[in-house]
Amino acid sequence: MYKTIHQYYLYIITNKTNGTLYIGVTNDLERRMFEHKRKLIDGFSKKYGLTKLVYFESYQYVNDAIKREKNMKKWKRQWKIDLIEKENFSWVDLSKDWTVFDD
């Protein structure tokens, strides 16, 4: 019997370098970024135009991703910025070349 390995993602999106930050969790990062970019979901990310994926982590278990999300939401803003810039110094949209956004 084969065991299915699920993938879950903690992600951070923004509207610009050093802009507003949103931390979320999803089991399908491409679909979720499509929703954010098309502003399909009402709420914080739509209100502030958060469409740039600047950081993400992957997890096998959803509880691990949620635990990390809850922890990071308590962080100081500068800690989040430091984490982003450690991996993505120029705040490049990591989803900019994904074909899921092609019309």
Query: Residue 3 in contact with residue 50, Cβ under 8 Å?
Result: no
Tell me the domain boundaries of the chain: 8-98
Q: How many CB atoms lie within 10 A of CB 49?
A: 14
Q: Give 5's strand partners.
A: none
Dump pLDDT digits (tens) for 62-80.
999 999 999 999 999 999 9
What letter would DSSP give residue 52? Answer: E
The model's pTM is: 0.91
How far apart CA 37 and CA 77 sit, in angstroms, is 23
How far apart CA 24 and CA 70 sit, in angstroms, is 9
Tell me the three state secondary structure of residue 53.
strand
Dump pLDDT digits (tens) for 1-53.
555 667 999 999 999 999 999 999 999 999 999 999 999 989 999 999 999 99
How far apart CA 65 and CA 12 sit, in angstroms, is 12
Tell me the three state secondary structure of residue 16.
coil
How far apart CA 93 and CA 11 sit, in angstroms, is 12
According to CATH, the topology of domain 8-98 is GIY-YIG endonuclease (3.40.1440)
